[in-house]
Chains A and B, each alone.
Chain A
C-alpha cells in the first residue's frame, strides 16, 4: 500500500462527495445516499 492512501484499500469501493470529490465515511454514505457516490479510484486533483 502506498504511503499517501490513508490506509484505503482501492480494490473496494469508497464513498465520496459528488460535489467536492472528498472521500467520506460509510456511515455518512448510508445516511445521505443522495450526496455520495461509490468509486474505486482516487478522484483527480483539482488544479
Chain B
C-alpha cells in the first residue's frame, strides 16, 4: 500500500492535486462522471437569500440574525436566526419534538431555573442536481440567566426548497406546535 497521502487521496472528490499511483488491484474506478459530485454540495447563501431570511426573521418579536441589521455574510455561508420564546411555549415545543423528560441529566429539569429562552435556527444552502437548491435547517435551544447559558444543540433537522417554506415549518412549530416533517432521504449531511 502507498503512503498515507496516496492511500487517502484516491477517494478525493477534486482533481486539483494528482493522486499517488496505486497497484491496479487496489484502485477504485469511478462509474459516474465527476460533475455528479456536485449533486449535494454546500453553497454560500446569496445576498437575496440573506435579505429574505432577515425579512422573515423580522416577523417575530425580538428576532435577530443574519440579514437583520446589515448584509454581512457568515464565514461559512450559513444563515442563522435567534427567536426568543416563553417558558410554557418551550415546554410544549420540547414535548412536541420528542425530547426526553425522564433522564436526570436532561436540560428539561433546568427550564424552571432559567429566565430567557432562545430558539435558534441554522440554515445551510445545498445545491441539488446542479441547478436546484435545498435548504437544510437545524434547531437548537439556549437557556439564559445573567451570564449563565445552557445550550441544547442539534435538537432537530428539517428541510425545505425555499426560505419561505422553511419559515412555514417554523411557524407551525412555534404557533401551532406541530412537529416538522422528517428530512427527505436524498439529503446526506
Contacts and interface: CB of A to CB of B under 8 A. Distances in A.
B102 A38 contact: yes
B92 interface: no
Nearest to A15: B103
Contacts of A36: 100, 103
A4 interface: no
Contacts of A35: 99-100
A19 B98 contact: yes
Given A18-B98, A36-B103, 13 more contacts: A18-B99, A18-B100, A19-B98, A29-B103, A33-B100, A33-B103, A33-B106, A34-B99, A34-B100, A34-B103, A34-B108, A35-B99, A38-B102
B105 interface: yes
Interface of B: 97-100, 102-103, 105-108, 152, 155
Contacts of B155: 34
A33 to B, nearest CB: 4
Contacts, number: 28
A18 B94 CA distance: 12
B102 A37 contact: yes
A22 to B, nearest CB: 13
A18 B97 CA distance: 9
Contacts of A34: 99-100, 103, 106-108, 152, 155
The 10 closest A-B pairs by CB, nearest first: A33-B105, A19-B98, A18-B98, A37-B100, A33-B106, A33-B103, A34-B99, A34-B106, A18-B100, A37-B102
Contacts of B100: 18, 33-37
Interface residues of A, number: 9
Contacts of A33: 100, 103, 105-107
A18 to B, nearest CB: 5
B151 to A, nearest CB: 10
A22 B153 CA distance: 20
